[in-house]
Amino acid sequence: MNFLVVINILFALIFAPLFDGFERKVKARLQNRQGPSIFQTWWDLIKLFKRPPVIPSDSIKRLYILAPYITFTAVLTAYLIVPTLLPQSLNFAGDFILVIYLISLATLIFSLGAFSSGNPYAQLGSNREVSLLMSEELVLAFVVGILALIGRSLSFEILFPLPLKVSSILGLALLFVVIYVSSARIPFDIPEAEPEIIEGPLIEYSGKHLALLEYSIYLKRFLLYSLFLNFILPKETTIRTGGFLLGLIVLSIVYSSLEAYYGRFRLDQAIKLMKKLSAVALVAWLIALMGW
């Protein structure tokens, strides 16, 4: 059992950067470009891991150095609970909450580390990161509420897969949007906006620290994809594995096409949109409450 979880984690570690490479290729094609090879993200990471990190003199050093490791570990821990290639995972009551906790922890520690770098751009970026996290959290809470109501549980063992209902479709649609927002894609890449605040929180990080942070961003996206697919796919191993791989590719293509053809929001516009979404989520929750 535990051995199979390790396979899941290894699968994620290898394939998360590959899927980013794939998305880059898709985006390039949508922009009439050749695009880099799908292994490019891996080459970038390997190169960064080889480089010595530079630590800014104005930073709070311990926090600054620890943050990438904690972020990375937090995301990796979540893979113990969310199954990827194989359906096996650690399960207990309330593991849904723990996954969300771990993802938020990663984001918060990441912003905290960036904030401690002392760079005004990084501070602005982490400000934005946290504001965006807060506004999306409300929608996410409703999504958890909806899904928990449908399955009458907070454990993935019972929740996977969801029964076909109006409320579960609504819940998954909302989850689809929340995943999009929290994976920091345009138009919601406000914290990292390159032309505005020059990669924001990442600005001072370098070498292996930067590599770890980027790696955890890819892993986080991959985790959220897996979470979404797990809610849909049936439990039988063969159909599930095939469906999972196909689902990943479809999600990658859809998400990267959306990203390629959107302009960036301003923070206030994004927050306004998330407020509207929360209202929609409330309605969906009420529908779930009715048992439809």
- By CB under 8 A, name the binding residues for other proteins: 27, 29-34, 120-121, 123-124, 127, 186-187, 189-190, 193-198, 257, 260-269
Distances (CA, A) of 184 to 66, 132, 245, 264: 22, 10, 23, 11
Q: Which is closer to other proteins, CB of 154 or CB of 198?
A: 198
Phi first, then psi: what are they for 66, rounded to 5°? -70, -35
Q: Which is closer to other proteins, CB of 230 or CB of 256?
A: 256
Least separation in angstroms between CB 202 and other proteins: 13
Q: Which is closer to other proteins, CB of 68 or CB of 200?
A: 200
Least separation in angstroms between CB 23 and other proteins: 13
Phi first, then psi: what are they for 117, rounded to 5°? -75, -20
Q: Which is closer to other proteins, CB of 165 or CB of 264?
A: 264
Least separation in angstroms between CB 128 and other proteins: 8
Q: Are 193 and 264 in contact (CB under 8 A)?
A: yes
Least separation in angstroms between CB 25 and other proteins: 11
What span, in angstroms and rounded, lies between the C-alpha atoms of 32 and 155?
44
Q: Which is closer to other proteins, CB of 85 or CB of 184?
A: 184
CA dihedral 27, 28, 29, 34 (to 10 degrees): -160
Least separation in angstroms between CB 277 and other proteins: 15
Least separation in angstroms between CB 283 and other proteins: 23
What span, in angstroms and rounded, lies between the C-alpha atoms of 204 and 168?
42
Q: Which is closer to other proteins, CB of 34 or CB of 238?
A: 34
Write out the two tokens for 196: 């505005």
Write out the two tokens for 54: 């530079």
What span, in angstroms and rounded, lies between the C-alpha atoms of 40 and 18?
8
Question: E-assigned strands of the chain?
Answer: none
